[in-house]
Amino acid sequence: MQLEHRFGLAGRQALVIGGGTGIGRAIAVGLAEAGADVHLAGRRADVLEGACGQLRALGRRSRAYPVDATDMDALREFVGTVTLDTGVPDILVNAQGVMKLQASEDYEPEDYERIMDTNAKSVWFASTWFGRGMLARGSGCVVSIASLASFRGFARNGIYCMSKHAVRAMTETLASEWASRGVRVNAIAPGFFMTDLNKDSMTEDRKQRAMARIPMGRFGDLDELAGAAVYLASPAAKYVTGATIAVDGGFLAAGM
């Protein structure tokens, strides 16, 4: 297989939930540059349309689907709508996520529900409901956004850490169930990237302490996540499932 075909996504239909901004948008652009038509879902219609315009400018088809993925009735309807519009996606990317930094003893039940509903529950049901169609077809690829917090605990970020441990666990569980039926399930664990999700919550002290732990000595650029997503979605990774790939500048490798 030639290199351009090994890593190419021409003719594939991709759906990125949380694709309007940040990590999701960077991955959407990468998938489009690799040849896929990329459709986007998220809460804000105006943001989605702007991102879709960027993808269309690359010559790809792109639809915007405003949806609150934590609303199970809305998510179920969304799955049906996408399937009718473009067919079952070849590639599903779960990039939806929220966080809240504060002392563990100060969280309220509504904080727990908001974070877990977004980061774990919506990822599980988006994966399994779209997964039904992938399994019926006998092919498909799910890529979810995990975190360094899928491997470690981080002070003042307890519920987020729990949710991202869950993403890694569901990735391995679904991979083991679905591998023999043609559907691969993997995850990407980004290191420290400045996004709308964390740029205002990270103090200068926290940034400095994070930087001191990164062997490469810098935070990541969002487009550096696109290569991992393209790889996991491509024929080059056809024997890869159940993996959580760290894109972290060596943070996890550095240990203490």
Domain ranges in the chain are 3-247
* Cα four-point dihedral sign 57, 6, 92, 95: negative
Active site residue 160: yes
The catalytically annotated residue of 65, 107, 112, 160 is 160
Q: Are 176 and 242 in contact (CB under 8 A)?
A: yes
Task: Specify whether domain 3-247 bears CATH 3.40.50.720.
Answer: yes
pLDDT of residue 255: 76
Q: Tens digits of per-residue pLDDT, 5-44?
A: 899 999 999 999 999 999 999 999 999 999 999 999 999 9
pLDDT at 195 over 90: no
**Sheet arrangement for strand 37-42:** 64-66, 37-42, 13-17, 91-94, 140-145, 183-190, 244-247
